[in-house]
Amino acid sequence: MTQKVAAIGVGQTEFRKTSEAESYPSLLRQAAGRALDSSGLSIGDMDAIVLALAPEALMGINHAERWCVDAVGAVGKPLMRVQTGGTTGLSAVQAGYHHIASGMFDKVLVVGADRVAESGDAQQIFNKIWDPVFERALPLTTISMIAMSAVRYMHLHGMTERQMARVSVKNHANAMLNPFAHLQQRVTVDDVLNSRYLAWPIKLLDACPQSAGGCAVVLSSERSLDASTHVPAWISGIALTGDTYFIGDRVGPKATHDYGDAGALEDAARKAYLMAGIEDPKKEIDVVETYASFSPVELHNVEALRLCDNGEAGRLFEDGYFDLRGETPVNPSGGVLCSNPISVTAMVRFAEATLQIQGRAGARQVPEVGVAVATGAGGSHQFFNVAVLTAEPRQS
Amino acid sequence: MDGSVVVLGGAELAQPVIDNSLEHAIFLTARAALRNAGLEISDIDDVVIACSDQIDGRAISSMITSGPAGAHLRDEINLASSPSHAVAMAALRVLSGQVKRVLVSSWGKHSEGELELAEHLTTDPFFDRDIGLSEIAAMGMQVSLFRSRFPEAASASREVVLKNRHNASKASLRSPDPDSDRVLFEDEFEKSPIVAFPLKRIEIAQPIDGVCSIVIAAGEDTIGAGESEPIWLRGVGWASDGYRLGERSLLDLPHLRFAVSEALRRARLRFDEERIAFVEVDDYCADAELLTCQVLGLSDNGGLQKDIPVNASGGYLGIGRPAFSGGLHRFHRAVEALAKSSHENQADVAVVQSSIGFAGQMQTVFVLSRT
Amino acid sequence: MSQSLDSISQHWDIMYQHRLDDVASEFFRVLRDDAKLIATRCPKCSRVLIPPRSFCDRDYVETERFVELGHEGTLELFTVVYLATRGLPDPPYAIGYVRPDGADTAVVNFIRGVELDSESPPSLQVGQRMKILFKEERVGRVTDFFFEPIHG
């Protein structure tokens, strides 16, 4: 029978430019140490460790899980490493979840770090994710990939660049309240609209930074919790759905999901909501940390998560519905737009959602959070995962 | 383990060069595994893979390979540390009770890339990379230590190579001729150059291309009229040693001891029980088989032990070492061998050990049984 | 020159030879020799797939060969890139996915014949008709063809 799993502590390092950050093992150790401290446990209490590490080409050591066993406290212990592109951080949490849900382990440390831009420019590496036979000869990058999705969303739902900018304004303002956020600068809609184009319609201030930093989460089984544990955040639902790799298959009348929408995210959310017993996301979800490396992505994400209907998101963002003090705060941390340490970016979403449940989110705390949702995205905007965290354990 | 996990069937391709695209080879193998398990892709809940981006030549290899691995609109995870971890994760998912059938795949086309270079890039750039620390150099260091402690290992390792080649011939139904094979072998052995003292090339398993897929499922739910008899995964244990060779106990392998004891504990078995029919271990080089048997308690002086068949499949030395995916191939072959073994035999358990990383840095042990 | 004591440079230089399956090989041969695009069809969902694949990932079955595609298509996705990245062409350039007539999926390539000026939005629209043009000198790689808007 499924063991219930809760996140009982999280740790993050202050995300910053790679050239100003500490070494990779050091970031791992710091993040792990902070997570252990926040859970009131030590490394000796951990039964197993899961490492989140996305493309190693970013930080420059192949299969770095072998190199950093010591840094994550895993010498002599069970250690696995997860790599699912941008979804890695949350897939690693899911792997940790299954360690415990299986009944085989009680305490698992999930940890990761990144030094994006160690290679100078991550986009050089992102050109190598594409199919070498048919697509690598084209200069595809994650920026152009999302730009095309934004163009499609505009075509389907009439999004404006002003609405994209409004998302960016919200996130930058929220990041000012988050001591871990990489980008800490207030921006206005005009600032965003006047910033230079990277790939139309995405401009510099619509885009995430290339960050370095670490993140860790301590997961516990229900049976091994003790009374002194500070507000466990129960993982009531967690799921991933991967769409077809081929972006070209996600257009036209025979597409299962249109590339302008985030159909696979909607599918993953449906699975996670079902596990968690969420029937009316608009009403039941108190706060969302969603993976959007570029501002237009937040629009189709909130629709896929069924926080509003398709095509409504732009107007709602403009109305402040998703602001920190709005109806359903989205990315109170400042989101990926303000910190993107790729291997752990999706874990940071989970960690922030945990902090919201635990009441430990400081100035960015949303009041009375009973249900928090965290999402990840990766691949050719292809993989999407969703976790539903609740303040009370739920029957599965 | 509380709860039952079965292996319903599997398939593999293992050749010096797989003459097909990576994607098509994965599709054919995964689909063959489904057929052997008596299933359609629609019967599969989750997909678990293990692949290495720098062997595949794609920065996120799981993107393009997700379709061939059967993951379209499914939950997919890549345990890029080891194919054995992928098997363990599939088992964890089934044990959680949330998932019934998992398609597990792993691969590595050595012929498409530069494997030694990719392995070299796993080393610490500050202290090790300039020193030419390759996987083979690490093997050489471990083996020179082993043979200095156990001099008998030098001659025993020669026997391991011959035995495993012999077993590979038998497994592929070629009729080996022990006498003439021996003569040819001695000659080849003498001529084989030392590549990393004291290891001769012939004592090191040569990399080949490989793709392997298996289906892991919940025991109570063994549907389908598969060709293969379901085999039970009774126990699993895994652990990692530190990175620095100079700080590791390369002969004692405490992490392997822990992995074995955890696997046996979960399977509720002791190693000396008469139920153990055979053992399959990681022969990345001949001495590795000897060393592992030592740690498992099958021998005590670095020599060959004869009580339980070791690597009756031929191991890597007999067939070649599929790049990255070797551990899954070994697991699959052990499952097949157990399924084919005689029901009259009391011994119905197999122990399977695989490692990855220099000098067996990460170890996984599985306990399989026919009932 | 003395070594920096703050950092170490590393260069990853791994050569790969990616084996094509027979469908891809044939696609490139026809592209090079005949200046045509061919696709495969899934016998179950009937989708005509480009890039042509040996199997359909939805239905998990082998595809049927081959369907010849038209030399015009519908623009489904596009962007204009203004950001320079080491190893990629100098910006600005336009790329997009066009669904050739006869196909159910779209394929990516460069879009030529468009004004590229970062002051105004690109004069391209999702849904517009495009020509598929082939280079004079072809080598059997996707860059042997490209897209242009159909004017008028």
> Which chains border A (3 or more CB–CB pairs < 8 Å)?
B, C
Residues of A in contact with B254 (CB under 8 A): 76
Q: Which residues pair with A372 in a beta bridge?
A: A287, A389
Give the integer Cα–Cα distance in Å for A25 and B207.
31
A83 within 8 A of A55, measured Cβ to Cβ: yes
C-alpha radius of gyration, chain C, whole number = 19
Percentage above 70 pLDDT, chain A: 99
What order do you get walking across the sheet with C48-49 strand by strand? Answer: C48-49, C38-41, C64-68
pLDDT tens column, B104-129: 999 999 999 999 889 989 999 888 88
Percentage above 90 pLDDT, chain C: 74
Nearest residue in chain A measured CA to CA from C111: A138
Nearest residue in chain C measured CA to CA from B40: C60
- Taking an 8 Å cut-off on Cβ atoms, the answer to whether C107 and A248 are in contact is yes
Confidence of residue B311 (pLDDT cuts 50, 70, 90): very high
Confidence of residue B183 (pLDDT cuts 50, 70, 90): confident
pLDDT tens column, C101-117: 999 999 999 999 998 88
pLDDT tens column, A5-61: 999 999 999 999 998 899 999 999 999 999 999 999 999 999 999 999 999 888 889
pLDDT tens column, A92-139: 999 999 999 999 999 999 999 999 888 777 888 888 888 888 998 888
Residue B173 confidence (pLDDT) above 80: no
Q: Give me B156's structure tokens.
A: 């025993």
Confidence of residue B221 (pLDDT cuts 50, 70, 90): low
Give the integer Cα–Cα distance in Å for B311 and B156.
15
Give the integer Cα–Cα distance in Å for A322 and A329.
5
The model carries a pTM of 0.95
Nearest to B81 among A70, A77, A81 (CB): A81
Hey, what long-range contacts does B248-253 have (CB within 8 A, 24 or more apart)?
B248/B359, B248/B361, B250/B141, B250/B142, B250/B145, B250/B146, B250/B359, B251/B142, B251/B145, B251/B146, B251/B149, B251/B291, B252/B295, B253/B291, B253/B292, B253/B295, B253/B360, B253/B363
Contact of A68 with chain B, judged by CB distance below 8 Å, is answered with yes
What is the predicted pLDDT for the residue at B359?
Answer: 96
Q: Which of B23, B35, B66, B110 to mutate to test the interface with C (most CBs of C within 10 A)?
A: B23
Contact of A378 with chain B, judged by CB distance below 8 Å, is answered with yes
Residues of A in contact with B125 (CB under 8 A): 60-61
Confidence of residue B222 (pLDDT cuts 50, 70, 90): low
> Looking at per-residue confidence, does B162 or A119 come out higher?
B162
Residues of A in contact with B255 (CB under 8 A): 75-76
CA A300 to chain centre: 15
Residues A339-363, mean pLDDT to the nearest whole number? 98
**Nearest to residue B259, comparing CAs of B296, B234, B231?**
B296
Residues C22-48, mean pLDDT to the nearest whole number? 96
What is the predicted pLDDT for the residue at A57?
Answer: 86
Confidence of residue B223 (pLDDT cuts 50, 70, 90): low
Contact of A259 with chain C, judged by CB distance below 8 Å, is answered with yes
Amino acid at C145: F
- Taking an 8 Å cut-off on Cβ atoms, the answer to whether B20 and C17 are in contact is no
- Taking an 8 Å cut-off on Cβ atoms, the answer to whether A101 and B238 are in contact is no
- Taking an 8 Å cut-off on Cβ atoms, the answer to whether A77 and B74 are in contact is no
CA B93 to chain centre: 21
Residues A352-374, mean pLDDT to the nearest whole number? 98
- Taking an 8 Å cut-off on Cβ atoms, the answer to whether C19 and B117 are in contact is no
State the residue for tokens 């405490």. Answer: B254
Those of residues 25-44 in C touching chain A at CB distance below 8 A are none
What is the predicted pLDDT for the residue at B230?
Answer: 85
Confidence of residue A226 (pLDDT cuts 50, 70, 90): confident
Residues of B in contact with A98 (CB under 8 A): 89, 92-93, 96
Nearest to C24 among B21, B113, B125 (CB): B21
Confidence of residue B176 (pLDDT cuts 50, 70, 90): low
Give the integer Cα–Cα distance in Å for B40 and B224.
9
Across chain A, mean pLDDT equals 95
Nearest residue in chain C measured CA to CA from B113: C16
Nearest to C19 among B112, B118, B129 (CB): B112
Residue B338 confidence (pLDDT) above 60: yes
Residue B224 confidence (pLDDT) above 60: no
Residues of B in contact with C14 (CB under 8 A): 54, 57, 113-114, 117-118, 121
What is the predicted pLDDT for the residue at A237?
Answer: 98
Residues B327-339, mean pLDDT to the nearest whole number? 96
